[in-house]
Structure 1
Amino acid sequence: MGNVNQTPQQTSPTDDQELEEQESSSSTSFTCEICIEPVTLPNKKFKNRNLCVHPFCTDCMIKYIQVKLEDNVADIKCPALTCDHSLDPLSCRSKIAHQLFDKWCDVLCDSVVLGFDRVYCPYRDCSALVVNECGGGGNLKRCVCPNCKKPFCFRCKVPWHAGYRCEESGENRDQNDIAFGVLSERKQWMRCPTCRHCVELVKGCAIVRCRCGIEFCYKCGKKVDHHWCNCRRSSTICMWVFHLCIVILVIWPFFLLFTALTRKNQHH
């Protein structure tokens, strides 16, 4: 009779998982590091989505999560001293009460909102929470409430003050002032930085002179000096050319005098 070679039987991944479950179920007892009580039931051991498996019983972890949520802690860390993993809310959903899970979701949403600039709509019939998710809240001014569709100022938290600066929005304005502000905003009129009168530029240079005698730039609204403004690159180049010409005009007579004295000394 010939010899028959027997090949070892290969196990599938499913069989490996069943073996691991049998091995884990065989060690059914552990000591919870929170209550220091022996636990014998395998389903009482808390598992954090297999991110970390520490000897904590489920009852202690539920109390731990409840205490953290009462302190409005959204990112709940594992109570192990040497562990930096956070508890996964979805893996804890089946172990905690529905009310506790809903509160956890609310705290997580609040923590996300706190990371952005936010205001409440200033209109009394709305008062909806508006979050600036794009950043740059210091530069954001006019925005529209997504709930009531009314415009308001994100910076000073009042209804939109068309045609007026934020520092002027607190002043009492009647309906005529509000209507004039809306008209000046639609026409894109510019206010004098000194007397705050509206000026309309029909045509010509962007540097205009107000009736109070102040010259300012019609594009950026800033007061200018020597008819130059830094808001445009061409104006900046012209300003530097102007200053260079002044320097040349001041230095040129001294250069001519120095040249004449040099030639006179050479003749002697």
Structure 2
Amino acid sequence: FFEASYPGERNPLGSPPSNLTRGDGQLRRSMSWIRNSALLSSTGTDVEDPVGEEASETSPLRPEPSLIRTFSLSNNRLIRQLSTLSTSSGLLQTFLCRICLGHEDVREAFNVPECRHQFCRACLAGYLSSQIEDGQTDVHCPSVEDKTNERCGTVLAPADVEALVEPTILAKFHRFKARRDDPGSSVCPWCGDLQTGEEEELQRVCSKCSRKYCFLHGTAHSQEETCAEFEKRTKAEDTETTAFLKKTSKPCPGCGAITYKYTGCNHMKCPKCNDDWCWLCGEGILISGPFPSHYDRRNALSPCAGKQFTMDGNEEPGLDLDLGRAGRILRFVLYYSPLALPLWLLALGLYIAITALALPCLCSNPEFRRSWLYSPGWAMTTMVNLLWSLLFAITLCCIGAVIAAVLAGIGLLYIGFEISSCCFEIIFALVCCPCFCIKEICCN
């Protein structure tokens, strides 16, 4: 906004140098005054005219106060003005949310105090609400490190939860936390107030609403009926419930907690022991990145390859999930078979080239010429032998390349690495095909 001052000048608005004419200096001085006057008036600061009406070329400009004294505004006022200008100009400072992966306004960010990870307030509030609904009281930061793919181990403080979630979710959070810290505490089924007591005290009276309830069964039975009588009476119903749960739910392989899946993918995370496991096969899942290798279509060792979103259990009962090891290996071979076609053509070219180089060497041998070349029908015999050896070498080369690629791929996938089978097929073609060709030619 400001004109550059001339060297040695005290006045920041500047007076024209001596080599300028009166008109040039007056125009430059007027433009500087107009610019600074417009800027200062927009910030609410009154500025007097630095140029007198009777100023002339021989009368110098009177000195003005410095810009530091002119802009005598508080820091807060300047920050508010800059924020208003940036908002009106559309230039906003943004940050990358680690949940929605979107660039959002920095004013909507929430910084986790312990680890300094930034998230949208709405995204982090939704994550906290989901975790609390699942019964989690120690909610970890959802951030994942970019280089190591490790989850952040920071536990959000109760103050952070209170600042983000809604009052109803916050009440659940406090109830779950109290129940975890005190196994003898309970929630009144009538008014929802948290009650404390001993675990042996089954019949309880709410201190807030003065109504009675059972510590184990809530309001399922009256006070006149004991818990043993109630369980005996409902034993048949419990059997049906157990059968239904056995059909529609599965136990966690880590802690045995009964888990019911009603929507989403087949990657399950137990809210009790924090283990990751597969809903389809019940095996544990090793998390080594954002996408589990357990569901990778190229993983020939996994019975659930390519089935992360396959509906099962409640949706399709009785679905046979295990296709067999042979079927998975065949799927793996067919997945990489298009990559082997150029290598097979390369093997054919190598065989023809080696045959063309080896045949003159064999023909230069006198014993070879006497026993083969001068025998009756040697040309036809040579052609037939070459064709049979070519077919045999190509067949063995293709079979060997596929077997080597499959075995190498399975071995590398088993230890957790992935590599294209092209490397193994190229090595196999370059090393084994010449051996086959030389063997066939020399044997004939």
Query: Which band: TM-score by shorter chain?
Result: 0.3 to 0.5
Q: TM-score, normalised by structure 2?
A: 0.24
Structure exhibiting the larger radius of gyration computed from Cα positions: 2
Query: Whose helix fraction is larger, Structure 1's or Structure 2's?
Result: 2
